[in-house]
Amino acid sequence: MEEKLLEILAELCEDDVVKDSLTIDLFEEDLLDSLAFAELLYAIEEQFGVIIAPSAVAREDVNTPEKIIALVREKLDA
């Protein structure tokens, strides 16, 4: 899951840096804007069947690759 998720993230951020720096702030570093974030959630739903509502998560809970992976894993395990 982790590898696939990072692939998706790298494509949406148009930068492979997200695969190596798992703690990089995706919003602060201009890697992800609100539309790309919306696309990411859609891709996560399509790929893993996991629904994340942006209204239910604070931005600081999904601002790094690491946190996004952890959230998807938590939902998959639930």
Site residues, another protein (CB under 8 A): 11-12, 14-15, 30, 34-39, 41-42, 51, 53-55
Residues 6+ apart with CB under 8 A from 73: 1, 2
Nearest approach, Cβ of residue 12 and another protein (Å):
8
Q: How far, in Å, CA of 59 to CA of 2, rounded?
A: 20
Nearest approach, Cβ of residue 10 and another protein (Å):
12
Q: How far, in Å, CA of 3 to CA of 9, rounded?
A: 10
Nearest approach, Cβ of residue 54 and another protein (Å):
4
Nearer CB in complex with another protein: 35/78:
35
